[in-house]
Amino acid sequence: MNNASLKTVALATFGCKVNQYDSHLLEECLKEAHFKIVPQEDVADIYIVNTCTVTRKADIEAQHMLRRFKRKNPHATFVVTGCYAQTGSQELAKDPHIHYVIGNTLKTKIIDLLKKDEKPSSPQIHLENAFKENTLSATPIHAYKKTRIFLKIQDGCDDFCTFCIIPYARGKSRSTPPERIISQIEFLVKEGVKEVVLTGVSLGSYGWDLSSKTTLSDLVQKIEKETSLLRLRISSLEPEDVNDTLLEVLKNSEKFCPHFHLPLQAGDDRVLSHMKRNYTVSQYEKRVNFILKHFKDVFIGIDMICGFPGEEEVHFQNTYAFLTKLPWSRLHVFPYSPRKGTPAAKFQGQLLRSEILKRSRVFQELSSKRYNAYLSSFIGKEMLALVEKNESKKRGFYKALSRNYLPIYFRSNNTKLLNQEIRLTPSRSVILSEAKDLRDSSLALLAQNDII
């Protein structure tokens, strides 16, 4: 089929790594169905927005993207899927420009609907109860020249924290059988992938639902022994999931990248109890200290929620004091956002938005200082880093990612560095937009010396 005659599709993805995996899989299915994937900036025949709904801000960002797409091509077909579509389908269906609202468990139906090449006169909702889904499909994915790839091994969550809408959007915990994961990783390695990031909504509950019970620790051991993968990363773990068995397995793994993402959410036991989190501040601290003891140069990222209902000044100060003494690398700060259908949305003591944002800024400033210090601690130290992309072919400016999740930029005239793990010695930290006229304003490391 002539590429010029193919229907073009632009896809925007919001939210977590699980959503990014889902979009990657959706792109593959679209290509197999003879659709052409184009960048978001292009004028497309079809626009798909894969949404997040963890906060109200995430909903608004999806709405903004839809308006942007409509301005680009008002005659296109518009599809909304993802977590916002699953939990807020009626709200989305009020927009007459949207043609299809597709829930999380029916994403594969998008292909069939688009093949019909029809535009319904009013939004069609395709939705089913997320909790009816008992298994997790294991559709193979291709690398398409990617160096690092997200691999979803688990979906859904059984914990029901009082602030969280995600179990209602993703359903109960479901896992991909380990043999399929091993087969998929080996396939990706043959396609050139050097790093796989295991993703899921609740990775610590991996394997509990399978007929042959298994655990995340068992899976990591199988990946270590049965695949030729170079680097393995785990996207996020709940504090209670970081048990001695798992840490021992990770400590002895040659593939594991020393990078942990451990949601804390609050540094006060009363607030944690109201959130229905399954640990105390003391238990969390013990886990972090254990990690630091056994993993050299480890990166520890933390999720925080600011302004939870009933969070008084004393609870906020307790959290701040706890964070200042706790060793970590970077915070991901979420201003509390009430989600309709969650218990916390009805709690007494809802804080003013201005106070929530004020407290969030305090933690964001703390995070910036700590991350800057963490980055700076690696200046002059040789590090292993995987070269991910050439930022500017004319200038030979490359981006690499260290095993402990630090972005490192460097120049080289060597055109064979992509997808290679090399040794770099950072010389300074920089704000990217100031260093090389990129839009990205995040902080990174710069290795100034040329790599030959």
CATH number at residue 410: 2.40.50
Same domain, 70 and 164: no
Q: Is residue 267 part of a domain?
A: no
| Burial class (CB within 10 angstroms; exposed 0-12, middle 13-18, buried 19+) of 382 | exposed
Domain that holds residue 253: 133-257
Choosing from 339, 355, 377, the residue where a domain stops is 377
Q: Is residue 286 part of a domain?
A: no
Same domain, 124 and 137: no
pLDDT at 59: 95
| Burial class (CB within 10 angstroms; exposed 0-12, middle 13-18, buried 19+) of 145 | exposed
Q: Is residue 275 part of a domain?
A: no
The total domain count for the chain is 4
Q: What is the mean pLDDT of each successive set of 10 residues along the chain, which is 452 residues long? A: 76 94 92 95 96 94 96 96 95 94 92 92 91 71 81 95 96 96 96 96 96 96 98 96 95 97 98 97 96 95 98 98 97 96 97 98 96 93 90 74 93 88 88 47 64 44
pLDDT at 442: 56
Q: Is residue 200 part of a domain?
A: yes
**CATH number of the domain where residue 253 is located:** 3.30.750.210
Same domain, 31 and 110: yes
pLDDT at 301: 98
Same domain, 355 and 394: no
Q: Residues 201, 205, 206, 210: is their CA dihedral positive or negative? A: negative
Same domain, 36 and 141: no
Same domain, 223 and 246: yes
Same domain, 109 and 152: no
pLDDT at 389: 80
Q: Is residue 265 part of a domain?
A: no
Q: Which two tokens stand for residue 81?
A: 């899927």
**CATH number of the domain where residue 74 is located:** 3.40.50.2300
Same domain, 119 and 96: yes
Angle 216-226/178-190 helices, nearest 10 degrees?
Answer: 40
Residues contacting 206, CB < 8 A, separation 6+: 153, 154, 175, 200, 214, 215, 216, 219
Same domain, 345 and 363: yes
pLDDT at 132: 81
Q: Is residue 163 part of a domain?
A: yes
Q: Is residue 283 part of a domain?
A: no
pLDDT at 141: 76
Question: 384 vs 22, 378, 390, 401, 405, CA distance in Å?
Answer: 30, 12, 17, 8, 11
Asked if 427 and 447 touch (Cβ cutoff 8 Å), the reply is yes
pLDDT at 296: 92
Choosing from 68, 94, 128, the residue where a domain stops is 128
Same domain, 230 and 324: no
Nearest to 90 by CA among 119, 125, 66: 125
Q: Is residue 167 part of a domain?
A: yes
Same domain, 245 and 177: yes
Same domain, 244 and 151: yes
Choosing from 128, 144, 177, the residue where a domain stops is 128
